[in-house]
Structure 1
């Protein structure tokens, strides 16, 4: 049975373009359209779509208000379309806080292009976001961890790395706001996100957290009690003890920033003194970097699948037998404080 999609946008042109892309894939079917947030809420309650695409700026009710009301009345996976501006970034982060699951840049040119990469990305995101309602979110070969088994570690940790993608902004907010301001080592954050978004995201996290959170800058020194967010569209690497390097990514790498690249770069300088954590996300970025860290006797944790928005990245770690611990999201910060001393 095809996945039902509700399209919400006040632009008739954009709705038609999105509808054409969705209906071209037999696994998806547009079951309704709405031109404003109020209509979106009403049609969600009546049509019960599997997934919704949502614009922000609309008459009668904006997208964030619609997301908030939908999540209260009929929780549904929502994909926001966002402008690539600082204001657009802030609005998108508000939408994620309200309950939207993921976002895509809104581009009239890209969505109407003959061979637009946006088309493929849109279809993949819709299929993945709707999956928890269509099929189990965790492969049967990966058992859900009913009880978290804690390990004892002999090494001292000098660096924490956290990699994430879909669902990551909210997951990072929930985790980092639980850490004390005197957390004893630096934290590097690798979140799949466009370059125009990471500055606003770091700014928001910094206003919410006891630790300092900032967008990473090339050549800066790492300090305890601080978290450094990889700039979108760039790569972040460890370039020396307590020093990071920001550089343009190799075109062969799918992700900018790449969790694999940052994880792997820590091996040379922080061999067995790294704690790497893989949170919610689509795909398997982080698995190969985690493999290198494990080979150097570092420690790797994965977020427990039932607490993920999308458990692709954490389950890739678990399936590869790389996870020292599999921990529910809300328990990770407490566990970090226990082992990083």
Structure 2
């Protein structure tokens, strides 16, 4: 196996980047939105909410997924809001077709927190949708104003993210250079791309990505925990990472995933079905077991102590977030230090970046997701600027790194991993 890790390189200069990692619009004009829902009342509600902001324009509405596919091809909107349960073609099928043919940011509007519907919503995210939110309450609801602001904010942000073409499972992606409309690499492709390069000292501080020889950070290292923080694009990144591992990790994995409140139980269920090892919501005081993945539940900070217990807290939000990646990483730094692997994956903002630097200073192996593979290069990008990440990799390459680090070999999983 090659001796160094070669990260994917960002599209330099292609997207002028804002502080939260969302590339700023260069085309000007209103953001054109296609609203897709089989309910006339919901379509009108979303139209009314979105058009309260002059930066947004509802270009058209569609009553089913088949109509949505046609309108995306014809109108080329900047973003699509997508219902799940619709006649003719549902939201999952429409998302698949749109992302295979005319990639555009898609925000899933879920009408229910029912576990089945939420699971389908995350299947749509695996197919290429960039976010999932709960359907806003109606005009007479006390939260209508707050719901409107939240929906407008997410639509404006998601309209700016880069999206990738998702190739059908029976059709391999073309063997061309990667671009915004290409598929992410498989584990085999990621491993084949790992070639030696110069030492990180040769890079310009605080700018481009760099490579670290594998012998310097992936060998002769004791690891007792893996900690992960992510936000926008996290479901896709975690699925890509975990589904490529040949076996469960011999240590517990603790994750803070920023998520709309109410979706974590369904998200956990979806991820547990999508990867070949157990995934569950962390419980207060629960022992963290090797080979298992633990997610922070809704509205609670997740921390860990040096004795391997998860601790949940309803303490004040940190930088407006609860759970916060910074809380998890700080506890891992204090309890594990150099015996940890910590990584920041795709997401808006800066949560966890400073604490990733603290972990690196304490000797932990630190990883940030690469710009090219991130839906939003906010959290990992800030970590790179702080020189907090020892490695900057795609999710598939992170799987390669973990396979080397833990010397994983293929095992017989207890369950099959579905193709998503």
Taking structure 1 as the reference length, the TM-score comes to 0.89
User: Residue 5 of structure 1 aligns with which residue?
Assistant: 33
User: Residue 11 of structure 2 aligns with which residue?
Assistant: none
CA contact under 8 A between 1:17 and 1:112: conserved in structure 2? Answer: no
Q: Give the CA deviation at 1:251.
A: 4.4
Q: Within 5 Å, which residues of 2 pair with 1:95-110?
A: 95-109=124-138
* Larger deviation, residues 173-182 vs 260-269: 173-182
Q: Give the CA deviation at 1:200.
A: 3.1
Q: What stretches of structure 2 of length at least 5 have no aligned partner?
A: 1-28, 164-179, 181-204, 408-420
User: Residue 91 of structure 1 aligns with which residue?
Assistant: 120
Q: Give the CA deviation at 1:269.
A: 1.2
Q: Give the CA deviation at 1:81.
A: 0.6
* Larger deviation, residues 104-113 vs 87-96: 104-113
User: Residue 76 of structure 2 aligns with which residue?
Assistant: 48
**Which runs of at least 4 in structure 1 moved beyond 4 Å after TM superposition?**
110-115, 141-144
User: Residue 256 of structure 1 aligns with which residue?
Assistant: 322
* Larger deviation, residues 228-237 vs 47-56: 228-237
Q: Give the CA deviation at 1:227.
A: 1.4
- Backbone CA RMSD of aligned residues: 2.6
Q: Give the CA deviation at 1:113.
A: 5.0
Does the alignment pair 1:188 with 2:234? no
Which secondary structure state, in structure 2, belongs to the residue aligned with residue 266 of structure 1? Answer: helix
Q: Within 5 Å, which residues of 2 pair with 1:22-171?
A: 22-82=50-110, 83-109=112-138, 113=142, 116-132=145-161, 143=207, 145=209, 148-150=211-213, 152-153=216-217, 155-171=221-237
CA contact under 8 A between 1:184 and 1:224: conserved in structure 2? Answer: yes
User: Residue 241 of structure 1 aligns with which residue?
Assistant: 307
- Cα distance in 2 for partners of 1:295, 1:142 equals 17
Instruction: Provide Cα deviations, 1:37-67, integer angstroms capped at 9, x if missing partner.
Output: 1211111111000100111122322211111
CA contact under 8 A between 2:33 and 2:78: conserved in structure 1? Answer: yes
Instruction: Provide Cα deviations, 1:99-131, integer angstroms capped at 9, x if missing partner.
Output: 211111113247965762222222222222221
The structure whose residues are more often helix, as a share, is 1
Aligned residues: 336
From the superposition, tell whether residues 168 and 87 of structure 1 become closer, same or farther in structure 2 (CA, over 3 Å).
same
From the superposition, tell whether residues 133 and 260 of structure 1 become closer, same or farther in structure 2 (CA, over 3 Å).
closer
